[in-house]
Each structure stands twice: as structure tokens, then as C-alpha cells.
């Protein structure tokens, strides 16, 4: 239960920091901000400092920034305070402030994780390493591993055959065991998060198709100095961002071609994310920070997409205004944003129901 609470609070803090990015960017450009609220109304209490009301609200689903202007409410403001009167680059900067905050959070969290120690790929020949693991990278379709329920990220700790146990700490150890037990019934011992599982498998006798049907990597924890960690955090943020983008293109390509979701890919909502964060917290602080950082990167990439109701969608409307040389009708923009937001809520409801079902 404590780890679940930490997971939920972490998600909320991530969303609060996203809105803080919008808020600080607007303030730096001297654009009026009527309210910065943590949570959503009804309000618990608030205090006005200068022109801005700072509030704490009952519904703990993130935060909000109220800037008169983006929704056509800035007519009575001075031009110097009015969002709508500002140049397009300043409007875009306010919108990008929230997206950039996700990347900054990811870089900071990964930097902290690198000082604590993060899993890095190592060879079988390297010894005396901390927290050595043999992990599954991918699982082939219709393989003994997939039929047995193995998943990417599972840690292989050993095998059992005919009552004898063989402990594993190298990739070659897995391969040798599989070759020596082709076509036999064995049990594979794995760790999945905090769980330890004993899974029966029927190994293939034909090695050309893969006896187990998995790809593996050997990892060990590697830590960096306070001087090295920030650079590693920035590099990792860039690398993970690229992996997220290319991964989404791969999923989209598979869906368009009629191949469905690739093996190991699934859609999850807040409940599923909370469950995965809970599992990561049980494994260790470094894993938890890395997962939060990855979630921040996913949110950054998603938010920048040119879809109405998202920051990227608002930037798209700004670009259209710039090209056509006149403002877009605010009612039309609001209708687009509202329609897409409703669609996303419906999709989120379906995904959330699926996540809750999977929990039981």
C-alpha cells in the first residue's frame, strides 16, 4: 500500500510540474495568470499574491493554469498582459513550457538514478559486478516462452529439470541449459517485479526456430559521479525520446498494415500506469525514478503531437493563424478541442476498464 500511494502521488506531482512549466513561462513573459491551482475545483482554499490566485483544490488529478486569453477571455486586459495580443512565438513558448518541463523532469530524475546506479549491459565474462541479472528483451510469437507467459523484463534466475536446480547468471548459461534439454519439460525460475515465479515450459527440439524463443541481455548496476550523472541523464533523455518516437511509428505502421499491436505492446491508462509504478517502487528507488522519467518522456512526446486539446494542437492552430494571417474563430477552435477531448475521455474509460479487469 505505501508504494501504491507513492506511485499515485508521483503521477500527480508530474502533472503539477507540467502546469508549473506553463505558469513560469507565462510569468517570465509578463503575461497575466489569474490562477495556478493544484488539483481541480471545488477549491479547498486559496491565497491571492499579486495578480495570481494560488489554490489547493479537492480533486487531486493534477493542476491547472488559468490564463485569460487562450479561451477568448482577454478582451478587458491591457495589451501588455493579454496572451492574445502577444506574438505567436510567445504564445508558443507558453504552450511549450509545459512540454519542456516533462523533458527537464526526465533528465533530472535520470541524473539522480545514474548516481544511485542503473542497469547497464555487460558481457558474460565480466565478474564481481553489482546486481547482475539475465533479463528477457523480447519474446517470439508462438514460442515456448510466449506459451508459458514469459514477458520482456523478466529476470531469469535459474532452471529446474528432473528435480535438479541450475542457477543462472549469464546469457550463455541460459543457452547451454536450453541446448542440453531440447524437447524436454523444464521449469524456468524468474523474478517479475517483486514476484518470484516457477513456470513450466516445453522446450523445442528444433533449435533452428529457437529452443526457448527469447532474446536476452545481461545487466549489472553501474553508478556515475555527480559530475558525470547530469550529462548521462541528458543523453539518456534524448535516447529514450527517440526510442519512444520510433516505437510509436512502429506500432502505427503495424496497425495500418493490419498486423495489429506488436507482441509485447499494449495500451494502458492511469490504473495500469499506477500498477506498473507500484511494481517499480517495490524493486528499488533507481528503477522507480527511471520509470517516472520514462513516463515523463511519453507525456512530453504525446503532448507535442498536433492533436486538438493537446499543447501540440494549440501550437498547430497558432501556425495556421500565422500562415493565413488572421485569427482562427475561437468558437471553432473550442469545438475542435472539446470534440477531441471527449474522444480521449471515452478511450481512456475503455482502457481504464481493461486495466482494472487485468488487475483481477
Q: Which residues are catalytic?
A: 19
The x, y and z cell numbers of residue 232, run together, are: 548521462
> 88-116 and 311-324 helices cross at what angle (nearest 10)?
150
Q: Cβ distance 81 to 30 under 8 Å?
A: yes
What would the DSSP string read from start to end of 179-244? HHTTT-EEEEEEEETTEEEEEEEE--S-GGG-SS-EEEEEEEEE---TTTHHHHHHHHHHHHHHHH
The length of the chain, given as a count of residues:
360
Strand pairing category for 214-222 and 118-121: antiparallel
SS3 labels along 280-296: HHHHCHHHHHHHHHHHH
Question: Around Cβ 104, how many Cβ atoms within 10 Å?
Answer: 15
* Residue 126: φ, ψ to 5°: -80, 135
Q: Cα angle at 161 between 159 and 165, to 5 degrees? A: 50
Bridge partners, residue 47, by sequence: 54
Counting Cβ atoms within 10 Å, is residue 181 exposed (0-12), middle (13-18) or buried (19+)?
Answer: middle
Per-residue b or e along 150-168, where b marks 16 or more CB atoms closer than 10 Å to that residue's CB: beeebbbbbbeeeeeebeb
Bridge partners, residue 192, by sequence: 195
Alpha carbon distance 171, 176 (integer Å):
9
Amino acid at each position: 500500500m505505501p508504494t501504491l500511494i507513492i506511485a499515485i502521488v508521483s503521477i500527480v506531482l508530474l502533472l503539477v510540474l507540467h502546469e508549473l512549466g506553463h505558469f513560469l513561462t507565462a510569468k517570465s513573459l509578463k503575461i497575466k495568470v489569474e490562477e495556478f491551482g493544484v488539483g481541480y475545483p471545488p477549491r479547498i482554499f486559496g491565497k491571492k499574491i499579486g495578480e495570481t490566485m494560488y489554490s489547493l483544490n479537492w480533486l487531486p488529478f493534477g493542476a491547472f493554469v488559468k490564463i485569460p486569453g487562450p479561451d477568448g477571455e482577454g478582451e478587458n486586459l491591457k495589451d501588455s498582459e493579454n496572451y492574445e495580443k502577444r506574438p505567436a512565438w510567445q504564445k508558443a513558448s507558453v504552450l511549450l513550457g509545459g512540454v519542456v518541463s516533462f523533458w527537464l523532469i526526465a533528465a533530472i530524475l535520470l541524473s539522480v538514478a545514474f548516481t544511485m546506479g542503473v542497469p547497464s549491459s555487460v558481457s558474460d565474462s565480466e565478474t564481481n559486478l553489482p546486481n547482475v541479472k539475465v533479463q528477457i528483451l523480447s519474446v517470439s510469437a508462438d514460442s515456448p516462452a510466449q506459451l508459458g507467459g514469459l514477458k520482456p523484463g523478466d529476470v531469469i534466475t535459474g532452471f529446474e529439470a528432473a528435480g535438479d536446480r541450475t542457477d543462472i547468471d549469464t546469457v550463455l548459461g541460459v543457452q547451454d541449459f536450453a541446448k542440453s534439454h531440447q524437447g524436454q519439460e523444464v521449469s524456468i525460475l524468474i523474478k517479475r517485479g517483486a514476484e518470484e515465479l516457477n513456470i513450466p515450459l516445453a522446450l523445442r527440439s528444433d533449435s533452428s526456430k529457437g529452443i526457448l524463443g527469447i532474446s536476452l541481455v545481461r545487466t549489472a548496476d553501474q553508478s556515475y559521479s555527480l559530475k558525470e550523472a547530469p550529462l548521462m541523464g541528458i543523453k539518456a533523455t534524448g535516447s529514450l525520446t527517440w526510442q519512444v518516437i520510433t516505437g510509436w511509428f512502429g506500432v502505427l505502421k503495424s496497425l495500418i498494415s493490419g498486423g495489429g499491436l506488436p507482441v509485447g505492446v499494449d495500451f494502458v491508462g492511469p490504473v495500469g500506469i499506477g500498477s506498473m509504478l507500484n511494481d517499480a517502487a517495490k524493486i528499488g528507488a533507481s528503477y522507480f525514478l527511471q520509470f517516472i522519467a520514462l513516463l515523463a518522456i511519453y507525456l512530453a512526446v504525446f503532448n507535442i503531437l498536433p492533436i486538438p486539446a493537446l499543447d501540440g494542437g494549440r501550437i498547430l492552430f497558432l501556425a495556421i493563424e500565422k500562415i493565413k494571417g488572421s485569427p482562427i474563430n475561437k468558437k471553432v477552435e473550442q469545438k475542435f478541442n472539446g470534440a477531441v477531448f471527449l474522444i480521449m475521455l471515452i478511450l481512456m474509460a475503455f482502457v481504464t476498464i481493461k486495466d482494472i479487469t487485468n488487475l483481477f
